[in-house]
A and B are shown apart, each in its own frame.
Chain A
Amino acid sequence: MNDKILLNHGSGGKLTHNLISNLFVKYFDNPILKQQTDSALLKIDSALIAFTTDSYVVDPIFFPGGNIGKLAVCGTVNDLSVSGAEPKYISCGFIIEEGLLFTDLEKIVKAMAEEAKKAGVLIVTGDTKVVDKGKCDKLFINTSGIGLLDEKRKDISFGKNIVAGDKIIINGDIADHGTAILCARNSVEYSSDILSDCAPLNHLIKKALNSSQQIKFMRDATRGGLATVLCELAEKNNFGICIEESMIPVKENVRGLCEVFGFDPLYMANEGKVVMVVGKEDAEKVLAEIQKDENGKNSAIIGEITEDNKGMLIMKTSIGGKRIVDMLAGEQLPRIC
């Protein structure tokens, strides 16, 4: 084990997993945490509640298609929604670096208010800390959220009812957020019109849930991208997953940029994408339903759950070959040549 925390520990890959299992879960040990779902599922009296938290440290704080505030609200709304819950209340904690422009902070807070309104959630409590210059990078935001969970949807977080033949659906083009951030960073002199896909998905998810009882699992494909969500799902369960490269929607310019840098869109971050596992009879119906939502126009069925290749994610490549898609060992690094 390393004696210091590396950046890689926060990449969402294997080192992050090790850190969570070997340190946090080890000491905080309790049955709810152990489930390691996107939101913790709590029973208080007779009500089922989903509870989640997330911190936002994105650099730069303004990027094409959004800013850190919009991200902080959407992220938490989405974490709750993919558990099958209806998001209700959100808290926000600001850690502000001395010297941040007041107008910038206002833009960010306004964006948060707008997104909360769109999602139909209330920001009901918060905290503010200002730290010395250099002690944080402009602005960090933490949001926590609670939502109400219908009893009949309590298994969605676990994917307990998934069987071979179930279909995998994604609600549109992958890798937009990751590539938009890459372009917005100063280190890359590359201008593009790629926008982050950052959006609250609770309305889209509600449409899907109302249209079918066969939605067996949902997860938002944020850090680590589509591949990480599906790898984790396969790894934790007794089935395989097979996806088809040609069915996965990726914008031309996003694909182009990823080709140039040697990045795989499958691992690029999204902030407005949900992966669903749906019973095969209902898949087309759910697809048609979410395609009606503004955040689901480009939704597609990209693969299915398989009996074979247990624990693994397999991709049929565009040329007809097959390959393993593995968890990332760390952040994707640009290739040398």
Chain B
Amino acid sequence: MKYIDEYRDKSLVLKLAEEIKRISKKEISLMEVCGGHTMSIQKFGIPTLLPANIRLISGPGCPVCVSSKLFIDKAIEYSKNKDVIITTFGDLIRVPGSSSSLEKEKANGADIHIVYSPLTALQLAEQNPDKKVIFLGIGFETTSPGSAATVIEAYKKNIDNFFLFSAHKIMPPAMAALIDEGVKLNGYICPGHVSTITGSSIYEPIANNYKLSCVITGFEPVDILESIYMLVKQIENNVAKVEIQYKRVVKAEGNLKAQAAMNEVFDLQDDWWRGLGIIKNSGNKLKEKYKKHDAEYVMPLNIPEPKEPKGCLCGEILKGLKSPKECKLFGKACTPSEPIGACMVSSEGACHANFKYNR
């Protein structure tokens, strides 16, 4: 298939792996920030193609994994309201909250729809004027513009029964927080689709202030290996700069329209990340102008702070301090069909990817 097969070319992959082996001398750790990368890396068996001195660590770029349990608990609480239709990306449906999940609430009669786009949620709101339609907005700069555009559309069309419940987050503060916490890294395999929206400049402070090599990377095996090659080259030459490997998609300036939509709708706020705690200015909340579409503002909930499950190492794993296999629950008490931690639920979670492809 065009645009896929070229990037899964076996001879090219092996050649890149060979080149990496040839130039790589230092012991290095590279973090793939994005859950999509974690999945590709495991799916294609990339670690087996790398020399032993290169370690890949999974990062905090899985939206379901870093979102708080409180978010799920609140979504569940909203879903119990007979006037509410919950719309969500499929990944969230099985995430365990404190005592239930959206999947279980659906069996209890809650009106929960899996949608592929927030615009479908808006349509549902138009079709059901007597219901409150809440879209569960999770994800980073990749999904936030879609939510932002939908809120703008709802505002323009006066669809007042559409609400965004936002857990949208932005990536760079978490990447900086990891280093501040003392996680030892030599370079970042930077998320490709986040960068499609933001452009490459968001990583400049990380390269400059923390002297870390950053390469914006695509999702196919050739992309990932080429990117590792570029990182190794930088590191071996003591260079720390931002480069774009995923040039066929990412432009230096990013997607200006999407950025404008986000700036129009969202303000930054301090936000909680699993494993990292509260990170300053890392979450997206709706601006004053759009408050009437803010689920939490219009329908405030008072729910106790949930406890994280006992023994679960998701936090450590998201920081790259532990690998899934170091968790006692991994593959025993915690499996994809009966997950305990969020990293096992999402297909992009490090635990799920490791269980599925590499246990």
In the bound assembly, the distance between CA atoms of A252 and B63 in angstroms comes to: 30
**Which residues from 240 to 276 on chain A have a C-beta closer than 8 Å to any C-beta of chain B?**
252, 255-256, 259, 261-262
Residues of A near B139 (CB, < 8 A) are: 336-337
A101 neighbours in B (Cβ, 8 Å): none
Judged by a CB distance under 8 angstroms, whether A335 is at the interface is yes
Contact between A337 and B36 (Cβ–Cβ < 8 Å)? yes
A330 at the interface (CB under 8 A from B): yes
Name the B residues within 8 Å of A259 (CB-CB): 1, 4
Nearest B-chain residue to A312, judged by Cβ: B359
Q: Is the C-beta of B76 less than 8 angstroms from some C-beta in chain A?
A: no
Q: B48 near A321 (CB under 8 angstroms)? A: yes
Nearest to B89 among chain A residues (CB) is A336
In the complex, the chain A residue whose C-beta lies closest to that of B146 is A337
Residues of B within 8 A of A65 (CB): none
Residue ID in chain B nearest A250 by CB atoms: B1
A35 in contact (CB, < 8 A) = no
Question: Do residues B49 and A333 form an inter-chain contact, with CB atoms below 8 A?
Answer: no
Residues from chain B with Cβ under 8 Å of A324 in the complex: 356-359
B-side contacts of A333, CB under 8 Å: 90-91, 93-94, 114, 347
B161 within 8 A of A: no
A residues within 8 A CB of B142?
Answer: 336-337
**Does any Cβ of A come within 8 Å of B14's Cβ?**
yes
B10 partner, pick from A6, A319, A334, beta carbons under 8 A:
A319
Nearest CB to that of B356 among chain A residues? A326
Are B91 and A330 in contact, with the CB atoms below 8 A?
no
Would you call A336 and B115 a contact (CB within 8 A)?
no
Contact with A along B29-60 (1 / 0, CB 8 A): 00000001000001111101100000000000
Q: Which chain A residues lie closer than 8 Å to B10 at the CB level? A: 318-320
In whole angstroms, what is the CA distance A259 to B8 when docked? 13
Q: Does A336 contact B64, Cβ atoms closer than 8 Å? A: yes
Q: Does A2 contact B (CB under 8 A)?
A: yes
Beyond A6-B107, A252-B1, A262-B347, is A321–B143 a contact (Cβ under 8 Å)?
no
Q: Tell me whether A337 and B143 are in contact in the complex, defined as CB-CB below 8 angstroms, given that A320-B14, A321-B48 are known contacts.
A: yes
- Alpha-carbon distance A335/B90, docked complex (angstroms): 7
**Residues of chain A in range 118-157 having any CB-CB distance to chain B below 8 Å:** none
Residue of A nearest to B115 (CB): A187
Q: Is B24 an interface residue (CB 8 A)?
A: no
Report the minimum CB–CB distance from B214 to chain A (whole Å).
Answer: 19
Q: Kindly supply a per-residue 1/0 record for chain B positions 118-147, scoring 1 wherever the CB is within 8 Å of any chain A CB and 0 otherwise.
A: 001000000000000000001110110000
The interface residues of chain A lying within 8 Å CB-to-CB of B1 are: 252, 255-256, 259
Question: Which residues of the partner chain A approach B89 to less than 8 Å between Cβ atoms?
Answer: 334, 336
Distance, CA A334 to CA B346, complexed state (A): 11
Flag if A15 contacts B357 (CB, 8 Å): no
The answer to the question of B297 belonging to the interface, with a C-beta cut-off of 8 Å to chain A, is no
CB distance A4 to B104 under 8 Å?
yes
Distance in angstroms from A166 CB to nearest chain B CB is 25
| A304-336 near B? 1/0 per residue, CB < 8 Å | 000000000000011111111010011001111
Q: Chain B nearest CB: distance from A149 CB in Å?
A: 34
* Residues of B close to A335: CB separation below 8 A: 36, 91, 347-348
Most buried by A among B49, B116, B143, B355: B116
Q: Tell me the minimal C-beta distance from B217 to chain A in angstroms.
A: 14
Determine if A336 and B357 form an interchain contact, defined as CB atoms under 8 angstroms apart: no
Name which of B1, B104, B142, B335 has the most chain A CB atoms within 10 A of its CB.
Answer: B1
CA A336 – CA B346 in complex, angstroms? 9
Q: What DSSP secondary structure best describes chain A's contact surface?
A: loop
Q: Are B138 and A323 in contact (CB under 8 A)?
A: no
Question: A6–B104 contact, CB under 8 A?
Answer: yes
Residue of A7, A14, A255, A318 ringed by the most chain B CB atoms within 10 A: A318
Residue of A with least CB distance to B113: A187
Given the interface contacts A187-B120, A333-B93, does A319 sit within 8 Å of B221 by beta carbon? yes
- Closest Cβ of chain A to B320, distance in Å, is 20
**A13: interface (CB < 8 Å):** yes
* Residues on B with beta carbons closer than 8 Å to the beta carbon of A44: none
Residues of the A chain whose Cβ atoms lie less than 8 Å from the Cβ of B346: 336
Q: Is B337 an interface residue (CB 8 A)?
A: yes
Contact of A329 among B8, B335, B357 (CB under 8 A): B335
Report which of A6, A13, A321, A334 forms a contact with B49, defined as CB distance below 8 A.
A321
* Alpha-carbon distance A5/B106, docked complex (angstroms): 10
Q: Could you give, for residues 1-19 of chain A, a 1 whenever the CB lies within 8 Å of some chain B CB and a 0 otherwise?
A: 0101111100001110000
Q: Choose from B4, B107, B337, B357 the contact partner of A14 (Cβ within 8 Å).
A: B337
Distance A300 CA – B8 CA, assembled complex (angstroms): 22
Contact A337 B193 (CB under 8 A): yes
Among B13, B45, B335, point to the contact of A322 (Cβ < 8 A): B45
Q: B359: nearest residue on chain A (CB-CB)?
A: A324
Quick check: B44 and A321 within 8 Å, CB to CB? yes
Provide the bound-state CA to CA distance between A8 and B49, in Å.
36
Given contact pairs A2-B104, A6-B103, A337-B63, A319 touches B8 in the complex (Cβ within 8 A) = yes
- Whether B336 is near chain A, meaning CB under 8 Å from some CB there, is yes
A321 touches B337 (CB 8 A): no
Residues in chain B near residue A329, CB distance under 8 A = 335-337
> B354 to nearest A CB, angstroms?
10
Question: Can you offer 24 A-B residue contacts whose CB atoms are under 8 A?
Answer: A2-B107, A4-B104, A5-B107, A7-B107, A8-B103, A14-B337, A187-B113, A188-B116, A252-B1, A319-B13, A320-B14, A321-B49, A326-B356, A329-B335, A329-B336, A330-B337, A334-B89, A334-B116, A335-B347, A336-B64, A336-B89, A336-B138, A336-B348, A337-B142
Apart from A321-B45, A333-B93, A336-B63: 8 A-B pairs, beta carbons within 8 A: A6-B107, A318-B10, A319-B13, A319-B45, A321-B48, A334-B90, A334-B114, A334-B116
The 10 nearest A-B residue pairs measured at CB: A321-B45, A333-B90, A329-B336, A337-B142, A329-B337, A14-B337, A4-B107, A319-B13, A323-B357, A336-B89
> Residues on A close to B: CB < 8 A?
2, 4-8, 13-15, 187-188, 252, 255-256, 259, 261-262, 317-324, 326, 329-330, 333-337
Question: What is the interface of chain B, defined by CB distance below 8 A to chain A?
Answer: 1, 4, 8-10, 13-14, 36, 42-46, 48-49, 63-64, 89-91, 93-94, 103-104, 106-108, 113-116, 120, 138-140, 142-143, 193, 221, 335-337, 346-348, 355-359
